[in-house]
Structure 1
Amino acid sequence: MDINYLVIEGNIGSGKTSLTKLIASDYGARVLLEGFEDNPFLPKFYQQQDKYAFPLEMSFLADRYNQLSRNIRDFELFSSFWVSDYYFAKSLIFAQTTLNNDEYNLYHRFFQIIYDKLPKPDLYVYLHLSPENLLKNIRKRGRNYEQSIKLEYLSQIENGYFSYLRQQHDFPILLIDTNKVDFVGNEQDYKKIRGIIFDKKHAPGINRVILNE
């Protein structure tokens, strides 16, 4: 299938950035990576979620919009292949989990103003890992501010993604279960995923693939 804008998504620790970089390297694609390491609210959020959830989500909303809007002209004018490790809708998915009702209702108003102005992907890939395996990856990569993340939080985010994906029919969604493969450490596993993404046609809505060892 023809892909000009590919999104690689997933929960925290799913390997979405690693896969994005591998694909970009193989295909010479332009890359959009989410900037989160410099966000001053993120470490504070993991320590005091109730206090810092709203400023964190608003800052991510602004950062994601600014990054995508800077590249809209290129999306529209050129046929270059883009690959990103996030989709703008993740802003809403996380906000549903972290914000109280009043905060979420206000947040949702800002989100809707922005969302329709941004490009939609030609293919949206969701990497599914169990919360237990996500937590192993989070512990392994050793970011200090992430070490307080709990299984319950990862499960809530997962449920938010699944709820969003079930309602989305505007573009093809490829849900890949990667619980039994290691596409970062095993080249053959990576090639399997790459082949599934680029060598098959995917209908709008969810297309599910389970990879075995």
Structure 2
Amino acid sequence: MKNIHSNHNHKTFIALGSNLGDRKQHLLDASRRMEQRLGLIISTASVYEVPAAGFTGGDFLNTCILVNTRKNAQETIAILQQIERDMGRVPRTGKNYEDRVIDLDIVLFDDQVITTPDLQIPHPRMHERNFVLQPLVDIAYKVIHPILNKSMAELSSTLEPLEKMVDFEIPLSRKRYPIQDLNFIAVEGNIGSGKTSLTHKLSEDFNAKQVLERFADNPFLPLFYKDKERYSFPLEMSFLADRYQQLSDEVAQQDLFKEFTIADYYVIKSLIFSKITLEKEEYSLYKRLFNMMYKELVKPDLYVYLYQTEERLLENIKKRGRDYEQNIEASYLSKIQQGYAEFIRSQQELKVKVIDVTDLDFVNNQEDYLKVLEKILED
């Protein structure tokens, strides 16, 4: 398995157990560490008190959680084992099971089947253990075992049910970072700032309707980068028309199965870019048309601007490798940056949040992602 990060979330079901010390606190500590290093906690099962199996020891508290992560399975198990060590778990001294402060196991990882000397997914004995299956049924009863081809509910029905449930729960990440309370969020930024990547992550983690700018379908964009003077006005007009139509259609219409809407742009970028690219007379006409359209659009509850330095933006642009962007100069990015700064300083209608992400890798680094979430929710 290649050691690479995915560009989408893996649904990772993890079993937690503890039978030493303050068991509830250990479960809380482990879940918080997973949230910080692995991914957001999307679902949590009930917590059950279960006698130790296979050895003489204190009763366990057992549960399961669903974590969204962009780590692959090998990276995930390495993180879980490091969390166990950090929390004081020591290696087994013999072949028999022993008491433990915390026990973390990957039960399911999407629908993948993995067999290596260090990792087996699905967990090879999960279908035999009611202390794994019953909590799993709480949050994954319809999920199909990729080898046995039965649902978790079907597998659990063959085992003796657990009876002792504990009045205790692990909090969901959405309670700590309740961005779903906002109805419409617009994420903006300069070219290469990461606005689409952040929009995609937030939509996956918080069950949001995602509205992405359709710039790739614009036939004028490659022509503009070759001949700005000739194609500036048709490019800006086509962008304005498309952005207005998309925001009118997709933001105004709520999706019953999504909790809020998040877009990787807002129509205000049309005014910012056109002021840079158009001649004075063209911009005057363009602005009149823009103002007529702008009045009719739904306004975001929060407008997030991702700031990065021009140097970092050029690095990002080079990495993603779009041919028509490779000749973009720092001076052009600086003008865009100035345009956004002027808009933000003069803005009185929208609630604006500026986040400096120059030194943050919120796609691959979970701690950086949580910093961005905290910034979004700051008063």
Tell me the TM-score normalized by structure 1. 0.89
Asked if 1:63 corresponds to 2:242, the answer is: yes
Q: CA shift at 1:192, angstroms?
A: 1.2
Determine the C-alpha separation between the residues in 1 that align with 2:336 and 2:257: 34
**What amino acid is aligned across from residue 127 of structure 1 in structure 2?**
L
1:51 maps to 230
2:288 maps to 109
Determine the C-alpha separation between the residues in 1 that align with 2:346 and 2:257: 30
Asked if 1:13 corresponds to 2:192, the answer is: yes
Instruction: Find the residue that maps to 1:9 and give its secondary structure.
Output: strand
Asked if 1:171 corresponds to 2:346, the answer is: no
Higher mean displacement: 176-185 or 56-65: 176-185
2:332 maps to 153
1:143 alignment partner, one of 313, 322, 332: 322
Shift of the 183–79 alpha-carbon distance from structure 1 to 2, 3 Å rule, reads closer
1:126 maps to 305
Instruction: Find the residue that maps to 2:281 and give its secondary structure.
Output: helix
Segments of 5+ residues of structure 2 without an aligned counterpart are 1-178
Determine the C-alpha separation between the residues in 1 that align with 2:302 and 2:224: 31
Task: Give 1 or 2 for the bigger CA radius of gyration.
Answer: 2
**What amino acid is aligned across from residue 244 of structure 2 in structure 1?**
Y
**What amino acid is aligned across from residue 83 of structure 1 in structure 2?**
I
2:277 maps to 98
Q: CA shift at 1:194, angstroms?
A: 1.3
**What amino acid is aligned across from residue 120 of structure 1 in structure 2?**
K
Determine the C-alpha separation between the residues in 2 that align with 1:78 and 1:38: 27
Instruction: Find the residue that maps to 1:30 and give its secondary structure.
Output: strand
Determine the C-alpha separation between the residues in 2 that align with 1:151 and 1:51: 21
**What amino acid is aligned across from residue 307 of structure 2 in structure 1?**
H
Determine the C-alpha separation between the residues in 2 that align with 1:171 and 1:30: 21
1:195 maps to 374
1:24 alignment partner, one of 199, 203, 228: 203
Shift of the 78–114 alpha-carbon distance from structure 1 to 2, 3 Å rule, reads farther
Determine the C-alpha separation between the residues in 2 that align with 1:139 and 1:50: 24
**What amino acid is aligned across from residue 284 of structure 2 in structure 1?**
N
- Aligned residue pairs total 200
Q: CA shift at 1:185, angstroms?
A: 1.9
| 1:85-133 CA-partner distances (Å, limit 9, x unpaired) | 0011110000000000011011111101100100111111100001111
Determine the C-alpha separation between the residues in 2 that align with 1:78 and 1:21: 17
Tell me the TM-score normalized by structure 2. 0.51
Q: CA shift at 1:79, angstroms?
A: 8.8
1:180 alignment partner, one of 354, 359, 376: 359
| 1:151-179 CA-partner distances (Å, limit 9, x unpaired) | 01000000000001111011221101111
Contact map agreement 2:211 2:250 (CA 8 A) in 1 = no
Provide runs of 4+ in structure 1 moved above 3 Å: 77-80
Instruction: Find the residue that maps to 2:215 and give its secondary structure.
Output: coil
Contact map agreement 1:6 1:83 (CA 8 A) in 2 = yes
Determine the C-alpha separation between the residues in 1 that align with 2:351 and 2:243: 22
Q: CA shift at 1:195, angstroms?
A: 2.3
Sequence identity (%): 52
Segments of 5+ residues of structure 1 without an aligned counterpart are 202-213
Shift of the 64–27 alpha-carbon distance from structure 1 to 2, 3 Å rule, reads same
Q: CA shift at 1:78, angstroms?
A: 10
Q: CA shift at 1:67, angstroms?
A: 0.5
1:204 maps to none
Contact map agreement 1:47 1:148 (CA 8 A) in 2 = no
**What amino acid is aligned across from residue 158 of structure 1 in structure 2?**
Q
More helix by share: 1
Determine the C-alpha separation between the residues in 1 that align with 2:296 and 2:257: 18
Determine the C-alpha separation between the residues in 1 that align with 2:317 and 2:357: 16
Determine the C-alpha separation between the residues in 2 that align with 1:78 and 1:114: 29
Q: CA shift at 1:72, angstroms?
A: 4.8
